[in-house]
Amino acid sequence: PSLRFDVSRAAAFVAPHEIEYQAAAVRAAHDLLHGRRGPGAEFTGWLDLPERYDREEFRRIQEAAARIRSDSDALVVIGIGGSYLGARATVEALGHAFHNLLPKDRRPGPQIFFAGKDLSPVYLTHLFEVLEGKEVSVNVVSKSGTTTEPAIAFRIFREYLERRYGKEGARRRIYATTDRRRGILKQVADAEGYESFVIPDEVGGRYSVLTAVGLLPIAAAGIDIAQLMAGAASAMAEYAEPDLAQNPCYQYAAARHALYRKGRTTELLVTYEPALRSTAEWWKQLFGESEGKDGKGIFPASVEFTTDLHSMGQYIQDGLRNLFETVVQVERPRADIAISGGDAGDGLGFLEGQTLDHVNRMALAGTLLAHTDGGVPNLLLTLPELTPYHYGQMIYFFEKACAISGYLLGVNPFDQPGVEAYKQNMYALLGKPGFEARRAELERRLNG
Ligand code: PA5
């Protein structure tokens, strides 16, 4: 079974012909992408990755994951942005809601912690407290090898592991995922003899979850990565269809583009399942970094319902009408709870015999109609179940929709020139050699 995309709830805002009229533009975007002739074509390796991935490396990933499961209580994954979000999203979506809190014998893999995704000394200090008494492995993930946040975290963790296990012991507990040839991390990994995995040149950070970047931590957490890839491969085949009328992935790209052109400049990814919280973070990076450039782009945001119906719900129902929602619905939950207890005096007797999932589902249906009535177009993506297979399909659905959306918008969906600005300033303010003039200028501005 496939994912289902439904644009009909937005019909009051975008008529079917507004989507149909984009068929030629979508076809052109498809040809650019598949012909590898569009802007950023050198970063389209993700397009056929589910079919063309390196089987030998995949086997090594599974072996390393098995080793980590057998010799570690905790795996610390160090990375940021595209070198972090996909792994976290997938582990949380497909794992147990309280994975890290489960007793060891009931956990399918080690506890998973993330580091190098911020510069907070408090977070790291507390993480070390939690790691006390545990056997620890580290997976450092950085394509460039020079990103400040993970580079500092790795420096700290390397010292920590060498202190605890000795140089040789630490060597066996460090896994490096980085560029095939270039970069400082690659040099360090080679010099120290760490087991290394490759981020292919032609796959950018936010498109890298189905490479070793995501796969090693995901497999270590006990999730079936072969199924994840199989799902992505099925999506790759299904969404290779050039005809907009036959391709739900392209319909999503066309619908959001039509909405954007009519002033819907903020898209909210809506979920009704806490396990999908980090998926929304991954999605925001994918679309935000791909489209937000040249003074253009939909602003991607997210809400988690029903939680946020009690906070952001008011704005969505009644605030500025520049929004649309993309609801990710999961058809069959992995668990359900029957509501029993008869008339318990709490006024909820009418729910007797229903399940909690049914209530969640009615909340979704009711909200969809209320928000549509309130003037917010709703797009709906349905996953049959939150399994590795369907999640792999969803990853590919969003990746490809994002690329097509970028081409419809007339941007390069695969670069991120804007993320450099803060880094240059930070390096200068920290006194990095070569940044002296900029430092003087920034300090004058800050102190002036
Ligand atoms: O999508 C991107 O390119 C970024 O988010 C990067 O993934 C992020 O900056 C981390 O880069 P690196 O893997 O080089 O450390």
Cα atoms found within 13 Å of the Cα of residue 308, Cβ hemisphere only: 17
β-strand 266-271 against 323-332: which pairing, if any?
parallel
Closest atom of ligand 1 to CA, residue 204: 3
Helix count and strand count (H, E) for the chain: 17, 10
- Which residue of the set 18, 289, 325, 399 is catalytic? 289
Atom 3 (ligand 1): residue with closest C-alpha? 205
Distance 297 CA to ligand 1 centre (A): 20
Query: Looking at residue 328, what is its pLDDT?
Result: 98
Mean pLDDT of 360-365: 97
Tell me the pTM: 0.97
289 is known as an active-site residue: yes
The pLDDT of residue 98 is above 90:
yes
Q: Give all strands of the β-sheet with 323-332 in edge-to-edge order.
A: 4-6, 378-385, 323-332, 266-271, 299-304
Secondary structure of 242-279 in the HEC alphabet? CCHHHCHHHHHHHHHHHHHHCCCCEEEEEECCHHHHHH
Check if the beta carbon of residue 113 is closer than 8 Å to that of residue 130: yes
Name the pLDDT band for 1 (thresholds 50, 70, 90): confident
Tens of pLDDT, residues 27-81? 999 999 999 999 999 999 999 999 999 999 999 999 999 999 999 999 999 999 9
The pLDDT of residue 342 is above 90:
no
400 is known as an active-site residue: no
Task: For ligand 1, say whether the CB of 74 is within 6 Å of any of its atoms.
Answer: no
Cα 448 from Cα 437, distance rounded (Å): 16
- Two tokens at 292? 């937000």
Tens of pLDDT, residues 395-407? 999 999 999 999 9
Mutate to test the pocket of ligand 1, among 78, 80, 155, 180 (most ligand atoms within 8 A of CB): 80
Task: For ligand 1, say whether the CB of 95 is within 6 Å of any of its atoms.
Answer: no
Distances (CA, A) of 92 to 65, 74, 277, 361: 17, 15, 8, 21
- Provide the ipTM: 0.98
Mean pLDDT score of the chain: 96
